[in-house]
Structure 1
Amino acid sequence: MKRHVLIFACLAAIAGALLLRPSGDLEPHQVAGPVRALSGSASAQDFRPLPFHAMAKRVGQRYRGRLIGADITHPTPRERELGAALIYEFRIITPQQNLLKIRMDARDGRFLEIAGRGQTKALRKGGAMKNTDKYRDAN
């Protein structure tokens, strides 16, 4: 139950931060940067990110530890090359007190990057990476 409350609190904080961030000098109808069309037949209406809480649950099913932070962020150039348009980033503290930073594709739930010490020790039995994941845990 505490985990659900923590996840909900993280989501509420993220939503609040997005709503309260300064708008800068832009008018509401202006765009902050260049707008690029999505490649292929994809369009903005086709983009459907997976639920944030479902991805947090998936992280918990794969790694032992306590979720201490979560964020929605832009992809790195390498992640963008893999087709990611939006990234869910989770931070967990493992039972060995190591910090893991986990980046996932918001659209399909792929684990794109797992950074930090103790990745192998924190991995749950049966939580090994599936062949569908593009990046592999190097630890």
Structure 2
Amino acid sequence: MSRSVHFPVPPEVVCDYLADPANRAEWQSSLARVEDVVGEVGVGQTWTDVTVPGLRPRMRTTALVRPQRWAETGTWGAFEADLALELAPAPGGGCVVTVRMELRGRGPAGLLARALGVVSPAAVRSDLRRAARILGERHPTGS
């Protein structure tokens, strides 16, 4: 899955916000909270996403090249998901965030992972739009 979302602020602001697990429950609709954060924001940082339904995937930052790229891997039981965000300045201001996501499941979970892979792009894009609105309200001049 690959989709893009426009943010009304510079890539540095977007990268700092999205890469910090402390902000996730604010913009990610499926999260109730984040727990067990280990390490500073950067490659190797880990945390647990506590989802609204109660699932607890363990997350790990796998790439951070500020402000161009951030990526994570999450694992929960037989499932694994990779999310990568590419950030680039947008013509006319702000930035464009292109997201790539892959869901995988071992054994029978593979079928469910494929089905979730069909519906997850809309949820991810909606969450990124929420993050863009939040940052736009906090930085009305785009800085």
Q: TM-score, normalised by structure 1?
A: 0.28
Larger Rg: 1
* Higher RCO, 1 vs 2 (CA within 8 Å, ≥6 residues apart): 2
Question: Where is the strand percentage greater, Structure 1 or Structure 2?
Answer: 2
